[in-house]
């Protein structure tokens, strides 16, 4: 499945650190869905901290933040507590949501090809329509760009 800007975002339900997550249930709210490779790794920790540090600004823009990776729910709970994230982390160990959003890629790691999540963020408007996506992104400055785009929707 390919997703496209200005098309309905693929809906799904999945376990999260706040209970069952349902994208459909968030209609009427702006949603930031950020996919990251792995809990407790340097880049993913920094990215989560950046979203955490601007959480109040996202809320003021009417946007809800959710992180998602293939880690287990128990891993997410520990990661969230350690980093004091004020937003839920969604567990996708079977990669169903990752496949819906097309974020699984072959990557080079220590000279070997491995399949993993390409760091990506999706901005979904209050009608459930995908308005912006960032794929293969670099962490520095990214969260500021997402916040600016969320404010434009708000």
pLDDT, tens digit, 9 for 90 and up, residues 41-52: 999 999 999 999
In a domain, 32, yes or no: yes
Which one of the listed residues 44, 54, 90, 117 is annotated catalytic?
Answer: 44
In a domain, 62, yes or no: yes
Torsional sign, CA 41, 43, 49, 52? negative
Q: Are 119 and 137 in contact (CB under 8 A)?
A: yes
Residues 6+ apart with CB under 8 A from 123: 30, 31, 32, 63, 130, 131, 132, 133, 146, 149, 150, 153
In a domain, 1, yes or no: no
Could you tell me the CATH number of the domain that includes residue 75?
3.40.30.10
Domain that residue 116 falls in: 13-153
In a domain, 115, yes or no: yes
Q: What is the pTM of this model?
A: 0.95
What average pLDDT does the segment 48-75 reach?
98
In a domain, 93, yes or no: yes
**Residue 61 reports pLDDT greater than 60:** yes
In a domain, 116, yes or no: yes
At residue 114 the predicted structure's pLDDT band, cuts being 50, 70 and 90, is confident
In a domain, 75, yes or no: yes
**Residue 13 reports pLDDT greater than 80:** yes
Token duo for residue 72: 């287990």
In a domain, 5, yes or no: no
Residue 44 is among the residues annotated as catalytic for this protein = yes
């Amino acid at each position: 499945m390919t997703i496209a800007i200005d098309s309905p975002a693929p809906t799904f339900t999945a376990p999260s650190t706040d209970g069952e997550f349902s994208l459909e249930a968030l209609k009427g709210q702006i949603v930031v869905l950020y996919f990251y490779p792995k809990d407790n790794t340097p880049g993913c920790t920094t990215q989560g901290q950046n979203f955490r540090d601007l959480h109040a600004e996202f809320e003021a823009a009417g946007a809800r933040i959710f992180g998602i990776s293939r880690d287990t729910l128990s891993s997410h709970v520990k990661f969230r507590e350690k980093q004091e994230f004020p937003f839920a982390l969604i567990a996708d160990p079977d990669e169903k949501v990752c496949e819906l959003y097309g974020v699984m890629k072959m990557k080079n790691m220590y000279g070997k090809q491995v399949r993993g999540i390409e760091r990506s963020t999706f901005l979904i408007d209050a009608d459930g329509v995908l308005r912006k996506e960032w794929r293969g992104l670099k962490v520095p400055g990214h969260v500021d760009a997402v916040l600016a785009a969320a404010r434009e929707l708000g």
